[in-house]
Structure 1
């Protein structure tokens, strides 16, 4: 996730010169979020603008937006680091950067980390803690069978601060959303650093300087939290680090680049909505209309005219400029 503010009111300049997108495929609409007046969309890439010079132009890339933008970065022969430098050259402000570290080995057992946090087996500067399991708090106390059905999420730190962490069971999330087998999952858990304002600016500088995602990420984590193995004769600060946490933190010793997993814009969400919410009703109508000697559904489609927005979506999905290279 990335949110960047540019000190200009010219959204077209940001789209064409900084993002290097073709305006032919960009959808523009009145209204926006965060107090902005206009929005420009290229798939899930969102640019917001306002005539207010203090607000400037805001780029927001959520998960899908990042994956789609990577298609264009690849075609432009730019890395994330080079893109960030291009933004910095324009005098931008990095408002938010989220960095995700994937746990492939099951080192981050979320219920255990929560238990250690609330029982004092943790040295941390982050006072706030929230824990959820399918919307239920403190479910680490429930029976083992129930826990296996739930995805656990642990938040460390206040969501209103510049730094907070989210640790969750990625494999369980994928099982709940898409029915994917946990046994076949590549990523078991995920640790997300959510950085805003000064923390986002500082992390952006560190990423651009080092082209190393591991160094800045693990340095921030180590500065804010450490899980320990308690010993009766020692203060918390002097206790040894929990062995699983220590293994997880070994990632600091590896130089890691920001992942590039480009995925072109698609209509998966629309297709899923039709499949789960609409398809049965359409099928029912077709069977009824067939018995009545009519075809309401086909007549409806034949009489429907796409507006400019939907034609641009068709172009975004089908044009060569939307294909990963």
Structure 2
């Protein structure tokens, strides 16, 4: 291996594992001045140092690579023209965005299409327009990327954000910081393996043993249950107001309790075990997205690097401290992760059908009751019911899509 290749390898691994120069020097059992010389290319890195590095990095590739995706996104534009944002950035012109009768985050106006939300201020241009995509909103937008926007990608969306900023700034150069990505969450899912997955409880135990070192001041472990059924443990690093907030939890147990399904069914249907969430906000999220776009960095690898920077996990053998094999086979290998999309169509009426399924037995009971009493209160209620103003645009849009003529609400 050439001198330059050794230098690049050493620097790349240090950054990926999230160690400071001092910590990395201690791990390699060399002096800090020596490491600085190696990283800066002043001297050739000795073979024994590279051998030590290889021994630290001998992690088997995980049989369950982490699958990462955008799971929350907020983008702020300093403009009052929310319709231009919908048209030029989201490219959802013509969709039935419904105006809500309340505000949020000090914004006085909200329009929403399914789970895709656009908030805007009518008075403060610095607040401007805020696009908010929840996890479900991200999945729905990915559906429109794929089905209606010619295979558009997240990178294309970012490109359109910057193009919108550039055009606006050409007209209003006095506006500063026109575009900001105020929050982004990257969710990393560890797929379920029959032979076993990483046990999150081990992180709690290692912390108690002094084998987990973290830069986060706040650490919280919660082992919860729902109606006597375990809904899994969760571990939090940092606070929700921190620029970086980490949340690891047993997603399979959470979904099993939430959906009231046997754990085996959840594994068969969804295939996941643990979830590792990296939540970034304010300047940290803005920097993350800009580096993703301009430096063409893999967002999943970037998220893993943030996790590795925030916490280091060790094991001890015969009094010797070394990197924990099970943790770093998941978080340490470059080949153990990939960026994915999970497009999901929002089906009009699906939420209402699910709600109705919960009360259908009550209606059946009332029908039987009225067959005995002779009352007709159900019919009176049905006759007086009307589709809410908020739901009407959905039905009109669906009727147009399905080619239903003379549709009447």
What is the TM-score with the length of structure 1 in the denominator? 0.85
- Alpha carbons 1:116, 1:122 under 8 Å: kept: yes
Name whichever of 254-263 and 242-251 sits farther off. Answer: 254-263
- 1:76 is matched with which residue: 140, 146, 149? 149
Q: In the alignment, what sits opposite 2:301? A: 215
Matches within 5 A, 1:1-325: 1-23=72-94, 25-51=96-122, 52-74=124-146, 75-77=148-150, 78-91=152-165, 92-104=179-191, 105=193, 106-134=196-224, 149-184=230-265, 185=267, 186-208=271-293, 209-210=295-296, 212-230=298-316, 233=319, 239-253=321-335, 256-276=338-358, 278-315=359-396, 320=401
Runs of 4+ in 1 over 6 A off after TM superposition: none
- Alpha carbons 1:98, 1:195 under 8 Å: kept: yes
Q: In the alignment, what sits opposite 1:143? A: none
Cα distance 1:46–1:269, how it changes in 2: closer, same or farther (>3 A)?
same
Cα distance 1:162–1:274, how it changes in 2: closer, same or farther (>3 A)?
same
Cα distance 1:248–1:270, how it changes in 2: closer, same or farther (>3 A)?
same
Distance apart, 1:319 and its partner CA: 5.9
1:60 alignment partner, SS class: strand
Equivalent-residue separation in structure 1 for 2:385 and 2:373 (angstroms):
22
Distance apart, 1:193 and its partner CA: 0.3
* Root-mean-square deviation (Å): 2.4
Per-residue CA deviation, residues 183-236 of structure 1 (Å, 9 max, x unaligned), is 3411011000001112211221232232623321111111111211035745xx
Cα distance 1:108–1:195, how it changes in 2: closer, same or farther (>3 A)?
farther
- Alpha carbons 2:99, 2:111 under 8 Å: kept: yes
Return the index of the structure with the highest Cα Rg. 2
Distance apart, 1:76 and its partner CA: 0.6
Cα distance 1:203–1:307, how it changes in 2: closer, same or farther (>3 A)?
same
Equivalent-residue separation in structure 2 for 1:319 and 1:247 (angstroms):
52
Distance apart, 1:132 and its partner CA: 1.2
5+ residue gaps, structure 1, are 137-145
5+ residue gaps, structure 2, are 1-71, 166-178, 403-409
- Alpha carbons 1:68, 1:265 under 8 Å: kept: no
Distance apart, 1:268 and its partner CA: 4.0
1:53 alignment partner, SS class: coil
- Alpha carbons 1:6, 1:57 under 8 Å: kept: yes
Equivalent-residue separation in structure 2 for 1:72 and 1:271 (angstroms):
23
Cα distance 1:123–1:107, how it changes in 2: closer, same or farther (>3 A)?
farther
Distance apart, 1:290 and its partner CA: 2.2
1:256 alignment partner, SS class: strand
Q: Report the number of matched residues.
A: 306
Q: In the alignment, what sits opposite 1:141? A: none
Cα distance 1:115–1:88, how it changes in 2: closer, same or farther (>3 A)?
farther
